[in-house]
Amino acid sequence: MEKRSSNFETLAVHAGVKPDPSTGAIMTPIFATSTYVQTSPGKHLGYDYSRTSNPTRKALEESIAALEGGKFGLALSSGCTGVDILMHMLEVGDHVVSVDDVYGGTSRLFRTIWAKHGVQTTFADLTAHSVSDFATPKTKVIWIETPTNPLLKVIDIERAVSWARKQNPRPLVVVDNTFASPYFQSPLALGADVVLHSTTKYLNGHSDVVGGALVTNDEELFKKMHHIQNSMGGISGPFDSWLVLRGIKTLALRMKRHEENAMALAQFLEKHPQVEKVLYPGLKSHPQHEVAKKQMHGFGGMVTFFLKGKLENAQRFLESLEVFSLAESLGGVESLVDHPAIMTHASIPAETRAKLGITDTLVRLSVGIESLSDLQNDLDKALQKSK
Ligand code: P1T
């Protein structure tokens, strides 16, 4: 398995955070200000307007960039803002090859917004095919989400990078690293050009912020992304930035626990008579288990499974859970359960969902950090009631 940097825990606590020079406060203050005083026109202390930059946001940007092993970070109003910023870099006629199983909101942006503005996306199963099977001379972006949402497919990042590097002009390889978090996967080290996060999820970790981030090592790319962010807005506000910065300090501890619980529950579900099939990259039965072992440092906290029966059985199961809360989103300390077909992926056309295998009996778990026995008993009881 790909080795994680040994100082990740230290970076999570310290990167981007310096004692406040005016007071010595150890924690970065919430700089709730829209503007900054100038002593003479254009003469200021590095900040002129908070859409352009803000010290609390900057601390968060440095923190996330450090965790991803990147030089430049941007903290955004949401993960979808990150998708939108990257798409704004393209021109009419450009083309994107995207993993077929992406978050419903990402797919919605590609299909219903950007297609109208002249950028077409081909959705492809990049576990079975190479990017070259779908690329055109106008392909400017390879969009990889791995593990994917909700089917937890694992896409070989290095394989896509090695193809992209042989092309002229070279398409950008974008990796949405939301599900793995930087604790379990380092796409920039594998050659990706830019990493996207919905910080709403593991990075913040407490289900009290909607935010996003972009990280890159390429200064030109960073300048372009910042130009778009500054032009259109889409910033993380100071309070949200501070909450995410605070959440990140415990990222390593949380991720370890999420994974321990997820692995145990995946193994439990795999043996359960009411369960048809479990998808978890850490299981030997996962079709891309070997790729996951190669490119990840661990397998994460998301588990997807198919119940036996029909929609009614899934509904009974979801209504019976008591520790798991039925809600969209993921990555918080509390366990959540989602019915992708009706909830998070409802914006994907029914026919496409059916082709992908997002069925009425598919259930997605965001396994929290609670006591494993409580989580397991909760699933067991609800599965009995699902019959
Ligand atoms: O919700 P937002 O912060 O805008 O992030 C969008 C997003 C981007 N990428 C991935 C992989 C995601 O899972 C998400 C958001 N996902 C959910 C809300 C969900 O429940 O799947």
CATH code: domain of residue 162: 3.40.640.10
Instruction: Match 């997807």 to its residue by tokens.
Output: 304
Query: How far is 177 from 186, CA to CA, in rounded Å?
Result: 8
Task: State residue 16's pLDDT score.
Answer: 95
Q: Give the active site residue among 176, 193, 240, 338.
A: 176
Q: How far is the CA of 42 from the centre of ligand 1 (A)?
A: 39
Task: State residue 2's pLDDT score.
Answer: 58
Q: What is the CATH number of the domain that holds 338?
A: 3.90.1150.10
Whether residue 50 is found in the same domain as residue 145: yes
List, in sequence order, every beta strand (DSSP E) within the chain. Answer: 72-76, 95-99, 120-124, 139-145, 172-176, 194-198, 212-216, 275-279, 302-307, 325-326, 336-338, 362-366
Task: State residue 5's pLDDT score.
Answer: 66
- Cα-Cα-Cα-Cα torsion 308, 313, 314, 319, nearest 10 degrees, comes to -140
201 is catalytic: yes
Domain termination site, one of 248, 283, 308:
248
Provide the number of structural domains found in the chain: 2
- pTM greater than 0.85: yes
Whether residue 181 is found in the same domain as residue 269: no
Question: Quick check: bond before 150 cis, omega within 30?
Answer: yes
Instruction: Determine which residue's CA is closest to atom 16 belonging to ligand 1.
Output: 329
Instruction: Determine which residue's CA is closest to atom 10 belonging to ligand 1.
Output: 103
- Residue 38's domain comprises 7-248
Q: Give the active site residue among 103, 183, 202, 280.
A: 103
Whether residue 67 is found in the same domain as residue 98: yes
Q: How far is the CA of 258 from the centre of ligand 1 (A)?
A: 18
Widest Cα–Cα separation across the chain: 73
Measuring CA to CA, which residue among 231, 225, 193, 227 is closest to residue 212?
Answer: 225
Domain termination site, one of 216, 248, 280:
248
Question: Averaged in consecutive runs of 10 residues, what is the pLDDT profile of the chain (387 residues)?
Answer: 76 95 95 98 97 98 97 98 98 98 96 98 96 97 98 98 96 98 98 98 98 98 98 98 98 98 98 98 98 97 98 98 98 98 94 95 98 98 96
Q: How far is the CA of 380 from the centre of ligand 1 (A)?
A: 28
Domain termination site, one of 190, 215, 248:
248
Task: State residue 270's pLDDT score.
Answer: 98
- 332 close to 367: Cβ distance less than 8 angstroms: no
Is residue 79 in contact with ligand 1, taking CB distance under 6 Å? yes
CA 245 to chain centre: 16
Q: How far is the CA of 36 from the centre of ligand 1 (A)?
A: 33
Task: State residue 1's pLDDT score.
Answer: 65
Instruction: Determine which residue's CA is closest to atom 17 belonging to ligand 1.
Output: 329
